[in-house]
Amino acid sequence: MPSCVVSVINYKGGVGKTTLTANVGAELAARGRRVLLVDLDPQASLTFSLYDLDDFEKQLAQRTMLQWFQSFVASGTAPPLDRYVTVPPAVNGAASGNGGELHLLASHLGLIEIDLDLAAGLGGARFLKDHPRYLPVHRVLADALADAAFDGYDVVLVDCAPNFNMVTRAAIVASDHLVIPARPDYLSTLGIDYLRARLSTLVDQYAEVADSSIAPEILGVVHTMIQHTGSGILRAQRESMERLERIEIPVFRQTIRENKNAFTDAGTHSVPVVLAAERTPAMETLRYDLQHVTSEFMAKTRV
- What confidence score (pLDDT) does residue 210 get? 92
Domain 5-301 in this protein, CATH class? alpha beta
Closest CA to 21 of 276, 274, 277, 251: 274
What span, in angstroms and rounded, lies between the C-alpha atoms of 158 and 111?
Answer: 15
HEC profile of the chain: CCCCEEEECCCCCCCCHHHHHHHHHHHHHHCCCEEEEEECCCCCHHHHHHCCHHHHHHHHCCCCHHHHHHHHHHHCCCCCHHHHEECCHHHHHHHCCCCCEEEEECCCHHHHHHHHHHHHCCCCCCCCCCCCCHHHHHCHHHHHHCCHHHCCCCEEEEECCCCCCHHHHHHHHCCCEEEEEECCCHHHHHHHHHHHHHHHHHHHHHHHHCCCCCCCEEEEEEECCECEECCEECHHHHHHHHHHHHCCCCECCCCCECCHHHHHCCEECCEEHHHCCCCCHHHHHHHHHHHHHHHHHHHHHCC
Q: How many residues does the chain have?
A: 303
Count Cα atoms within 13 angstroms, Cβ side, for 177: 20
- What confidence score (pLDDT) does residue 127 get? 60
Amino acid at 228: H
- What confidence score (pLDDT) does residue 234 get? 85
Supply the Cα-derived Rg of the chain in whole angstroms.
Answer: 19
Residue by residue, pLDDT tens for the chain (303 residues) are 788 999 999 987 778 899 999 999 999 999 999 999 999 999 999 999 999 999 999 999 999 999 999 999 999 999 999 999 999 999 999 998 889 999 999 999 999 999 989 988 776 655 667 788 899 999 999 999 999 999 999 999 999 999 999 999 999 999 999 999 998 887 777 788 889 999 999 999 999 999 889 999 999 999 998 888 777 888 888 888 888 888 889 999 999 998 866 554 444 568 999 998 888 888 899 999 999 999 999 999 999
The answer for residues whose C-beta is within 8 angstroms of residue 136's C-beta and 6 or more apart is 76
- What confidence score (pLDDT) does residue 211 get? 87
pTM for this one?
0.94
